[in-house]
Amino acid sequence: MNTLERYIIRRTAYAFTLTLAAMTGVVWATQALRQLDLVTSKGQTIVQFIGITMLALPFLIVTVAPFALMIALILVLNSLSGDSELIVIDASGGSRFLVLKPVLAFATIIMLLVSALSLYVAPAGLAQLRTEITRVRADLVANIVKPGRFINVEEGLTFHIRNRSGKGTLDGLLMHDTRDPDTAFTYQAETGNIVEAAGRTLLVMQNGTIQRRPKQVGDMSIVRFQSYAFDLSNLIPEASEPVFKPSERSTANLLGPPGNDYFAVTHPERLRAEIHERFSLPLYCLSFALIVFAFLGVARTTRQGRGMAIVGAITCCVLLRTTGFGITAISNDSAVLYAMRYVVPVLGGGLALVSILRGHQGKQSQALQRFQLMIGDWVEAITAKLTRNRAGSAS
C-alpha cells in the first residue's frame, strides 16, 4: 500500500468513525428512551440502564454503517477535490483507480465488519436484550403498583405507595392482606425495597407497624418494627421463556430451527426473509462507495460546482436503499423478491462501476450527466419558488 492509499484510507477512517458515532448515538438515544420507564421501574442505576440498552448497539451500527460510509466518502472526496489533490493526481498522469483502490479497500473492510455484526454480534445482542426485558416485565410489583393508587395485586391483597424514588425505593407503603381466613393484616412502613435473596423475592419494609385484626372476635394488636421482610415469591410469576423474533435469533437458528419451535413452524417465511436480509445488507457498503466515487471521483477545477454532484450521490444512495426497504416490506415468501434483495445493491453498484469505467476511458456517462442536470433543475426550481414566496409574503 503506497503513501496515497494510506492517506486516503486514514482520512476516510477518521471521517467514518466520527460520522458512525454521531449517527449511532442519535438513533440509540431514541431507542433507549422507549425502554427508560420499563427498566428504571425496577430501580436499576443509570449504569445498568445504559448497559441493557447498549445491547442493541450492534444492530443499530449495522443499519447506519452504509450511510455513515456514504457521508465519510463524500466528505473525503469533496475535500480532495476542493484542495485540488484530485487535479494534481490527474495532471501528473495518475489514473482514477489510484483513488478508487483505497476507497474500495476501505469499503470492503466496512462490508466485512457489517457482515460479522449482522450475522453474529447483532442477533446475540438483541436476544440478550429480549431476555432482560422479559425478566423485568415479570416483576409484578415493579410494574403494576403505581404511586397514589390502590392496586389489588390479587384477591385479598391490596398495595398502595405514596411515591417511588429513582433508586426503586417505595415510599409511604401500605399493604392490606385479608387472604388469611381468620386474620386481616395491615402493613404500614416509611420505605420498602424489593430484594432478591436465596431464590426468593422479598419486600423489605423499614420503620413501620403491623396491625393484626381477627375477622370474627378479638382485639386488634399492633406490632412496631424497624425492619420486616414480606415474601412476594408466590406473587411474582416465573419469567417465561422469551419468544425471540427473527432478528433476535442466531444465524444458525435461522438456517436450522428446532423442530419444536412453534414460531419457526408457524412463520417459516419470516425466518427466510431475515436470513436473506442479513446476507444482502452488507452489499450496500460497496454499492454506496461506487456510487459516491462515480459522482465525486472526477477531478474538478474550483470553477466547476461540486454541489450537484454531492446531491446526486446522496439522492442515488437514498433511492437505492429505499428500494431495498420497499422490497423487504412487500416480501411475501417469493423467491423472486428474495433474489431482488441482492439484485438491487449489486445492480446499483454495477451501474456506478460502468459509469466509472466509461469516465476513465474519456467517455463520461451521458446518463450521469443528465441526472446531475435534472437535479440541478429541481434545485433551481425549488429555489426560485421559495424566492417568489418570500417576495410575495414581504410585499
What is d(CA 89, CA 83) in angstroms, rounded to the nearest whole number?
12
Q: Is-contact 121 58, C-beta < 8 A?
A: yes
| One-letter-per-residue 3-state SS of 284-336 | HHHHHHHHHHHHHCCCCCCCCCCHHHHHHHHHHHHHHHHHHHHHHHCCCCCHH
What is d(CA 385, CA 374) in angstroms, rounded to the nearest whole number?
17
| Span between the terminal Cα atoms of the chain, in Å | 62
3-state secondary structure of 169: coil
What is d(CA 384, CA 393) in angstroms, rounded to the nearest whole number?
14
- The residues, any chain, with a CB within 8 Å of residue 211's CB and separated by 6 or more, are 185, 186, 187, 188, 220, 221, 222
Q: Is-contact 12 72, C-beta < 8 A?
A: yes
pLDDT single digits (tens) 52-106: 778 889 999 999 999 999 999 999 988 888 777 777 777 776 677 888 899 999 9
Count CB atoms within 10 A of the CB of residue 182.
Answer: 8
Instruction: Write out the three cell numbers for 5.
Output: 492509499
DSSP state of 376: H
**Can you tell me which residue has the cell 412476594?**
232
Q: Is-contact 142 136, C-beta < 8 A?
A: yes
- Between the CA of residue 62 and those of 29, 58, 114, 222, 305, what are the distances in Å? 16, 6, 6, 61, 33
pLDDT single digits (tens) 1-53: 578 888 889 999 999 999 999 999 888 888 777 666 555 555 555 677 777 77
- Between the CA of residue 263 and those of 127, 242, 251, what are the distances in Å? 15, 11, 16
| Residue with the larger pLDDT of the pair 139 and 353 | 353
Nearest to 287 by CA among 344, 339, 236, 207: 344
Give percent above pLDDT 70 in the chain. Answer: 77
> What is the pTM for the complete model shown?
0.71
Residue 362: predicted pLDDT: 47
Delimit the domains of the chain by residue range. 3-137+243-257+265-384, 145-231
Helix (H) and strand (E) counts for the chain?
A: 15, 7
Residue 170: predicted pLDDT: 83
Instruction: Write out the three cell numbers for 179.
Output: 387472604
pLDDT single digits (tens) 200-237: 778 889 999 999 988 887 788 899 999 998 887 766 55
What is d(CA 370, CA 132) in angstroms, rounded to the nearest whole number?
53
Name the helix (H) or strand (E) containing 364: none
What is d(CA 250, CA 270) in angstroms, rounded to the nearest whole number?
14
Nearest to 323 by CA among 340, 338, 299: 340
**Can you tell me which residue has the cell 423467491?**
335
DSSP β-bridge partners for residue 164: 170
Asked if pLDDT for residue 239 goes beyond 50, the answer is: no
